[in-house]
Structure 1
C-alpha cells in the first residue's frame, strides 16, 4: 500500500514541478513580449501620429527615442530593485507601470504627453528586460536554463511581430490610439500571472529566508536530491560577495571584461537593427511602397523573418559557436545594407528594384536575428566574473539603451542631412568594422565553463583567448 502511495506522490510531484516550470516560462515570456510589443508598436503608429499632430522629423525622433531614455533609467533602477524587493515584485511593478503608461500614450492629448508616456513605458521595459532573464536563470533547472533565456529573446521577436500585425489591422482606420493602448492587455495578463509565481529561491536565500527557498525548490524540482545540491550551490555562491564598483576600480582585468561587454552592446545597436524596426514603414516608403497599408504589410514580413531567424541562432549557438555566428551575421548585414544603399542611390523606379530593396532589408533582418541579437546577450552574461557579474551586466545593459537612444534619435536627421543612400552605407561600414573587432577581441566561449573563462580573464589572457 505504502509503495503505491509513495509512487503516486513521486509522480504527482514530477507533474506538479513540470507545470510550475511551464507557468514560469509563460510569464517570463510575457516580459519579453512586452519589450517586443513596445519596439514594434511605435513604427506603425508614428505615420498617423505625425499626420494628426503635424510633428517634425525631430519630434518623431523624440517620440521614438524617449522610450529608450526611460529604459536606460529602468535598467539602472532594476539591479537595486531586484536586490531589495526581489525579482518577482520588480517584475510586478514593471508590468503595472507598462499597463498604466500604455493607457497614458493612448489618451495623450499632444506630443509632449505622448513623450512622457513613452518614457514611463521605457522604465517598465528597462526593469522587465533586466529582471526577467535573471529570474528565469534562478528558477529554471540547469538542463533548461539556456533554452529559457533564449526563449525570452525569442518572445521579444514575437512581440515585435504581434505589434506589426496589430498595427496593420488598425491601419485601415488610422487609429493610432488603439495601436498604442491595446498593448496594455498582455501587461495586465502578466501582472495576474505573476501573482501565482514563487519568489526566486536564490533571492530568498540572499535575504536569509532559507526555509522558504527550500520549499520553492521542492515545488520546482521533482527530485529531493537535486534540491539539496542546489541549496548548497546557492549557499556557496552567496559567500562570494558582489563587489562590482570596488572591483572595477581596483582590478584592471575586470575592467577589460566590463569594457568588452559595453563594446558588444554598442556594436549590437549600431548594426542599425532598431532603426529598421522603429522606422520600418518610412524605409518601405523609400523603397517605393507608397500606401500606409503596403508599408505596414512590409513590416509584418520583417517581423516574421525576425522570429524565424532567431530559431537559427537557438539551433546553432551551442554547435557552431558564438564567434563564427557573429562574423557571419556582421558580414551578411554589411553586404545587405550596402546593397540597399546602392539601390537607393540608383533610384528605385521599377518593380524589380522595389523587390530587390525589400529582399536586401529582409536579409539584413535575418542576419541580425541569427547573430548579434541573441549572441551578444549570451556573451555579455558569460564573460563577467562571479564577483562582478551584477555590475558588469547592469553596465552593459544600461549602455545598450543609451546606444539605442542615439541610433533612434539620429536616423531621420541622417536621412535628411547626408541623404538616404549614404545613411545605409554608413551603417554597412559599421558592420564591416565590427567583423574586425570580433576577430581581434571577442572570445569563443562555447562549451567553456564560466569558472574557466573567469580564471583566464583574471590571469590576464588576451580577451579573444578567454574561452580557451
Structure 2
C-alpha cells in the first residue's frame, strides 16, 4: 500500500492532480463504452443503416486522431492547465449535443467533436500528470488514469443495461457530461506545471509551482537540470526523426500502434456481437457480461497501479502482453474446435475474453500513459505523446472498421489468431526497445536516449522526490 501512503503524504496540489485524473479517466472510459449500448437503440429510433451505425462508432475514433495530432502544439502553446480546462468544457458540451441531436448528421458531428476532445485529452493528461507528480508516485498516478478509465467503461455498460428497458440512448450518451463538469471545478485549483513555465522562460513561476508540488524541497537543482536540457533541444518535430531521438520516436510510435492493433477495442466496441457469437443472448447478457469483463479488468489495472513503481515498467508490460497471447490462443482453440456454442464452450470463451482484457489493462492499458508522459525530453514531451497516441488511434480506427467484416470472413478463430500473432510481435518489440524508467527523473530519461539508449547513472533512491 506504499502508493496510497505516498499520495496521502504528498502536497495538496498532487492530490488535486490525482482527483482530476480520476474524473477525466471516468469520462473517457464512459465515452468509449456507452456507444455499445446506445447502438442497440439508435438503429430503430433514428432508422439507421448498418453503415451509419458503424459511422457513429468510428466518428469518435477519427476525431480522436485529429485531436491527438493537434494536442501537442496546443498544450505547448497555451499550457497544460488551460488545455485541461478546455478539455473538460469540450466533454460537457459535446456530450450534451450528442444527447439532444435530432437526427443522424448532427449526432455524427457531435460524436466527431467529442472525439477531438478525447484526442487532445489523451495527449495532455499524461503530460500534465508526469510533470505535476513526484517521482515516487508518478507511475502510479498515470496508471490511476487507466484505473478510472476502466471504471468509466464499466459505468457505460451498466448505465446502458439499467436504461435498456427505456431504450433511452440520449440519456446514455448525455450522462458523460456529469464527471466532466466536476473536473472543471477541480482544475481551477491546480497549478501549471513547472516544465511548461520553464519552456516559456518563466523561472519564478516554475519555482513557485515546484514549491507547491514538493513543499520543503529545494527546487533549484531540478530547475537547473531542466533548463540545461531545454537549451539543448530545438522542440522541432523533424528533429524527433533523426539523431538520438529517432530511437525514442520509433519506440513511441511502435508501442502506440501495437497497443490498439492487438484488438482490445474490438472487444469493447463490438462486445455484444462477440458474446452473441459465443452463444449468449438478451440485454442482460449482452450488456451485463461486458461489464463483468471490465470489472475483472479493473482489478488487474489496480494491481498494476500498486506494483508499477516497485516492480518496474518492463515486467508489468511484458507480463500483460504475455497474458494476452495466452488468451488469444485459448480463443482460437474455442472457435476452431466448437461445432456450436453453449455450455462449457461459451464459458471457456467468456473466460478467455476476461483473461485477454485483464492482460491488456495490466500491461498495455496501464503503461501507455506512463510511457506517453515519460519518454521524451521537455520540449518534445507533448509532441512525443501526440506521436504515440496518434499511432494508437490510427490502429484503433483500423480495428474498428476492419473487425466486423474480418469476423464474418475468417471467423473467430482467424480474428483472434491474427490478434495473437500481433501480440507476439509486440512482445518482441517491447523486449528490445522499452526502457525501464522506474525511479528515474524525467531529465534522466531524456539523457538515456542521448546516451545511445543506455543509463549513465544508477537509478535514484525511492525517497528522492524531484521529477
Map residues 62-77 of structure 1 onto 2, 5 A cutoff.
62-77=55-70
- If the length of structure 1 is used for normalisation, what is the TM-score? 0.87
Q: Which has the larger radius of gyration?
A: 1
Report the more deviating stretch, 409-418 or 240-249.
240-249
Matched, 1:374 2:380: no
Is the Cα contact below 8 Å between 1:71 and 1:127 reproduced in 2?
Answer: yes
Report the more deviating stretch, 427-436 or 161-170.
427-436
Map residues 134-283 of structure 1 onto 2, 5 A cutoff.
134-223=127-216, 225-251=217-243, 253-283=244-274
Report the CA distance between 1:448 and its aligned residue. 6.0
In structure 2, stretches of 5+ residues that fail to align are: 1-7, 460-467
- Which digits, 9 at most, give the CA deviation of each residue in 1:407-428, with x for residues without a partner? 1121112123333332222212
- Which digits, 9 at most, give the CA deviation of each residue in 1:330-373, with x for residues without a partner? 33212322322332341443322221111111011111111121
Separation in 2 of the partners of 1:233 and 1:249? Answer: 24
Give the direction of change, closer, same or farther, for the CA distance of 1:347–1:121 in structure 2 (3 Å limit). Answer: farther
Report the more deviating stretch, 281-290 or 109-118.
109-118
Report the CA distance between 1:177 and its aligned residue. 0.9
Map residues 125-140 of structure 1 onto 2, 5 A cutoff.
125-140=118-133
Give the direction of change, closer, same or farther, for the CA distance of 1:75–1:293 in structure 2 (3 Å limit). Answer: same
Report the CA distance between 1:45 and its aligned residue. 1.4
Give the direction of change, closer, same or farther, for the CA distance of 1:289–1:375 in structure 2 (3 Å limit). Answer: same
**Equivalent position of 2:395 in the other structure:** 403
Report the CA distance between 1:462 and its aligned residue. 9.4
Separation in 1 of the partners of 2:136 and 2:441? Answer: 15
- Which digits, 9 at most, give the CA deviation of each residue in 1:39-59, with x for residues without a partner? 121122122223333434433
Matched, 1:300 2:291: yes
Report the more deviating stretch, 138-147 or 78-87.
138-147
Report the CA distance between 1:138 and its aligned residue. 2.3
Matched, 1:310 2:287: no
Is the Cα contact below 8 Å between 1:265 and 1:396 reproduced in 2?
Answer: yes
Is the Cα contact below 8 Å between 2:136 and 2:309 reproduced in 1?
Answer: no
Matched, 1:34 2:33: no
Give the direction of change, closer, same or farther, for the CA distance of 1:382–1:204 in structure 2 (3 Å limit). Answer: closer
Is the Cα contact below 8 Å between 1:244 and 1:389 reproduced in 2?
Answer: no
- Which digits, 9 at most, give the CA deviation of each residue in 1:184-203, with x for residues without a partner? 11111112222233333332
In structure 1, stretches of 5+ residues that fail to align are: 1-14
Give the direction of change, closer, same or farther, for the CA distance of 1:147–1:33 in structure 2 (3 Å limit). Answer: same
Pick from 345, 351, 365: which aligns with 1:359? 351
Is the Cα contact below 8 Å between 1:66 and 1:405 reproduced in 2?
Answer: no
- If the length of structure 2 is used for normalisation, what is the TM-score? 0.87
Report the CA distance between 1:182 and its aligned residue. 0.8
Matched, 1:110 2:76: no
SS of the aligned residue for 1:371 comes to: helix
Separation in 1 of the partners of 2:16 and 2:436? Answer: 33
Matched positions, count: 448
Report the more deviating stretch, 418-427 or 254-263.
418-427
Separation in 1 of the partners of 2:179 and 2:142? Answer: 20
